[in-house]
Amino acid sequence: MDTNVTGTLVLLEEAAAAGVGSFVFTSTTSAFGRVLTPRPGEPAAWVSEDTAAVPRNIYGVTKTAAEDVCELIHTDHGLPVIILRTARFFPEPDDRDEIRAAYSDANVKANEYLYRRVDIQDVADAHLLAMARAAEIGFAKYIVSATTPFTQGDLGELRNDAPGIVGRLFPDQEAEYARRGWAMFPQIDRVYVNARARAGLGWRPRYDFRHVLDLLKADEDPRSPLARAIGAKGYHTISTGPYTVR
């Protein structure tokens, strides 16, 4: 068994044995895997908790395995467990060379608040609510991402003309982006849906695209004070690309 899964199992078993009142497991929307990249001609993926995960690498496999262990321990021992599949909140640049070459880092992150990013303050708030409500809920799995402005009726257009639909929903976006020399992505391939987390936890994420755009227009930092305080820590002490300590 992978050491990450084993470690999660040990924590769960010890928590259950000690009568811990709640257990929150931080997972990732990356666990959805291959469903996040529809084939050419297909609409964008509408990703909710009901979407079946199709892991594309060992990271996704171990995350979903650890989630299954969480559910198993809850079923067998009654330990209240909440799983939070968090969207992107890390401050490092995108790991794709072509994206870093075509867009500034701030441009990429602003775009992502439409469909796949969340501010770390909202992530922290979701965790606090999960801890407080786990005993009442028992077991649940929630997507933690900024509230998207899109609906399922937008999915086809998002794959063909994302700037068009964003411009209709946010008439002030084009001018603000032009002022900064930014661009909207030509297409969006998935939309994370946080409706269940908002309903189940009473979670009210503040940092969505509208909020970010308003801060940009006011020439303010679109990150939360918590995100600014944490900054970028990096994962490696030697040069390995965008995740190197700076």
Domain ranges across the chain: 9-224
Residues 6+ apart with CB under 8 A from 140: 82, 83, 196, 200
CA dist 28 and 11 (Å) reads 19
Strand order in the sheet with 139-144: 23-28, 81-86, 139-144
Please determine, for residue 4, whether its predicted confidence score (pLDDT) is greater than 90.
no
**Residue 182: predicted pLDDT:** 98
Residue 147: phi, psi to the nearest 5? -65, 120
Confidence of residue 84 (pLDDT cuts 50, 70, 90): very high
Confidence of residue 246 (pLDDT cuts 50, 70, 90): very low
Per-residue pLDDT tens digits for 27-58: 999 999 999 999 999 999 999 999 999 999 99
Per-residue pLDDT tens digits for 129-176: 999 999 999 999 999 999 999 999 999 999 999 999 999 999 999 999
**Residue 1: predicted pLDDT:** 54
Please determine, for residue 240, whether its predicted confidence score (pLDDT) is greater than 80.
no
Beta strands in the chain (DSSP E): 23-28, 45-47, 81-86, 139-144, 190-192
- For 148, the 3-state DSSP assignment is coil
Amino acid at 90: F
Residue 81: phi, psi to the nearest 5? -135, 130
Mean pLDDT of the chain: 94
Residue 88: phi, psi to the nearest 5? -65, 125
**How far is C-alpha 221 from the chain's CA centre?**
20
Q: Is the distance from CB of 84 to CB of 144 less than 8 angstroms?
A: yes
What letter does residue 42 receive in the DSSP assignment? S
Q: Which CATH number is 9-224 given?
A: 3.40.50
Please determine, for residue 238, whether its predicted confidence score (pLDDT) is greater than 70.
no
Q: Which tokens is 195 given?
A: 């409706």
Please determine, for residue 192, whether its predicted confidence score (pLDDT) is greater than 60.
yes
Per-residue pLDDT tens digits for 115-129: 999 999 999 999 999
Q: By CB neighbour count within 10 A (0-12 exposed, 13-18 middle, 19+ buried), where does 175 fall? A: exposed
**Residue 239: predicted pLDDT:** 57
CA dist 170 and 59 (Å) reads 36
Question: What would the mean pLDDT of 5-16 be, rounded to a whole number?
Answer: 95
**Residue 232: predicted pLDDT:** 80
Cβ neighbours, 10 Å, residue 20: 14
**Residue 231: predicted pLDDT:** 87
Question: What would the mean pLDDT of 65-71 be, rounded to a whole number?
Answer: 96
Confidence of residue 95 (pLDDT cuts 50, 70, 90): confident
Residue at token pair 């609510």: 129
Q: Which tokens is 219 given?
A: 């020439």
pTM of this structure = 0.92
**What separation, in Å, do the N-terminal and C-terminal C-alpha atoms of the chain show?**
34
